[in-house]
Structure 1
Amino acid sequence: MAGHSKFKNIMHRKGRQDAVRSKQFAKLSKEITVASKLGGPDADGNPRLRLAIANAKGLSMPKDNIKRAVDKGAGGDMEEMFEIRYEGYGPGGVAVIVEALTDNKNRSASNIRAAFTKNGGQMGETGSVGFMFDRVGEIKYPAAAGDEDTVMEAAIEAGAEDASSDLEEDDFNEAGGHTIITGFEDLGAVAAELESALGEPASVNIIWKPQNTVPVDEDKGGTLMKLIDTLEDDDDVQNVYSNFEMDDETMAKLQG
């Protein structure tokens, strides 16, 4: 029975991972299409499209999927899309920023407000928590890119602001990796330097990085995770950022 139980647990993780990846592909396709529509289908002359395609490749998104998304945007065969940022507070006073890409602003606002309300939070006005975060660049590399010292040295040479490594295996039994933080304006240059030194990154993003973190216990953490999961599961939501801090033991319990 122990072996059977382990097998079921592995299959559950794989199923969850596949579902997450499918959702990521859908969100990336939407971003690629919008970037292609706004800036044209030539990635060399369209930084936003180049970034979206790089992230899609980092997640092993099929080339045919990427091409279809680019062509859809270039052909104008899509509804008008709106980029909206929502802000609010989750359980325990945790600040939350939600980035959405939607063809229906009323639907998105209603769904996101409901997610906050049903999961112990409260949506606020734009700017209500944004001042607690910095807009920065984030470059991620897999563990295979090199050891911590190698990546750190490359990051310093490239002009990055910070670098950290977590080479432990994560919840999906995959190796961890390296995270490099850059200034908002420096992202393109630093990413290019790092690619020359370490190869193609797993992802390159512009993110909201919290200036300070808020400790969250198991009680509040459970509700907070439900809020974040609900937001991330929404088709209109592209990214969710928060400033919570939770110890590894509590996080492990909540991930079950």
Structure 2
Amino acid sequence: MAGHSKFKNIMHRKGAQDKKRSNLFSKLSREITVAAKMGTPDPDMNPRLRLAVNTAKAQSMPKDNIQRAIDKATLADGENYEEVRYEGYGPGGSAIIVEALTDNRNRTATAVRTAFSKHGGNLGTEGSVAHGFERKGLIEYPVSAGDEETVLEAAMEAGADDIESDMGEDGGHTIWTEADALHQVASDLEKSLGEAANVKLAWKPNITVEMDEKGAATLLKLVDALDDDDDVQTVWGNYEIPDDVMAKLD
């Protein structure tokens, strides 16, 4: 079950969004509001909202901001967002899945299509790349949560499917679960390991594509362009960028 964590560059460069705090908080607020509107505004009774709130807390989002986002769900004249998924192809044969929350599908589709076309990719049809991914639950812990054996044992007891541990300076523990078991596994792990750094539903690639320096440089520009869009919540891909290539690009 254990292995080197590749998630840090499969999703996007770790910390890329952290440099844009206001943009990140806006995305988190939108997810909290949508989650609260789709169910009860009580995180204890609404698994999706609890995950959204936990993710916001892990990103140091102020409690007042979190509560305001929950409260917005009860406003009669509040914004109405819908979930949209886009699929496409990036440089080097990579496959990309973009998840968005939008109040204007035309605006978001145009922005996503433009980002792909400007950075060596092209937008595909629904289902064009999703078949190469699995919908899974993702839980991330920092290295400080414990050594590989400790976290592995806790993850197995909680019912996780897989764990990838990287005990390096910028590493951590990546724990995978079945999508419908994410809330329960995360709750059980919180009791043994403490609060996770990240808990969310993810698209896990079945096979990864290794990128060379040229392809990786263009690909990261595409990912950054997508991340910069307020409507885009997450960007997933099946790419893997070797550490020596990433070092040249940072």
Q: Could you say whether these structures have the same fold, taking a TM-score greater than 0.5 normalized by the shorter chain as the test?
A: yes
Aligned-residue CA RMSD in angstroms?
1.5
Is 1:222 the counterpart of 2:206 in the alignment? no
Residue in 2 that maps onto 1:56: 56
- Post-superposition CA distance 1:177-204 (Å, at most 9, x none): 2111111122122112111111111111
Distance 1:70 1:77, change over 3 A: farther
Alignment of 1:1-256 (within 5 A): 19-170=19-170, 176-255=171-250
**Cα separation, 2, equivalents of 1:183 and 1:236:** 27
Decide which structure has the larger Cα Rg and report it.
Answer: 1
**Cα separation, 2, equivalents of 1:88 and 1:25:** 26
Q: Please state whether the residue corresponding to 1:74 is helix, strand or coil.
A: coil
Higher helix share: 1
Unaligned runs of 5+ in 2: 1-14
Q: Please state whether the residue corresponding to 2:195 is helix, strand or coil.
A: coil
- 1:76 to partner: Cα distance: 3.5
- Post-superposition CA distance 1:9-49 (Å, at most 9, x none): xxxxxx97753333221110010111112213111221111
Distance 1:31 1:76, change over 3 A: farther
Q: Please state whether the residue corresponding to 2:44 is helix, strand or coil.
A: helix
Q: Please state whether the residue corresponding to 1:189 is helix, strand or coil.
A: helix
**Cα separation, 1, equivalents of 2:179 and 2:36:** 22
Residue in 2 that maps onto 1:3: none
Q: Output the amino acid matched with 1:211.
A: N
Percent of pairs with identical residues:
59
**Cα separation, 2, equivalents of 1:167 and 1:246:** 18
- 1:102 to partner: Cα distance: 0.6
**Cα separation, 1, equivalents of 2:203 and 2:16:** 26
Unaligned runs of 5+ in 1: 1-14, 171-175
Q: Please state whether the residue corresponding to 1:43 is helix, strand or coil.
A: coil
- 1:77 to partner: Cα distance: 4.0
Task: Provide TM-score, normalisation by structure 2.
Answer: 0.90
**Cα separation, 2, equivalents of 1:16 and 1:133:** 23
Residue in 2 that maps onto 1:7: none
Q: Output the amino acid matched with 1:208.
A: W
Report how many residues are paired: 236
Higher relative contact order (CA 8 A, sep 6+): 2
Distance 1:140 1:229, change over 3 A: same
Q: Please state whether the residue corresponding to 2:141 is helix, strand or coil.
A: strand
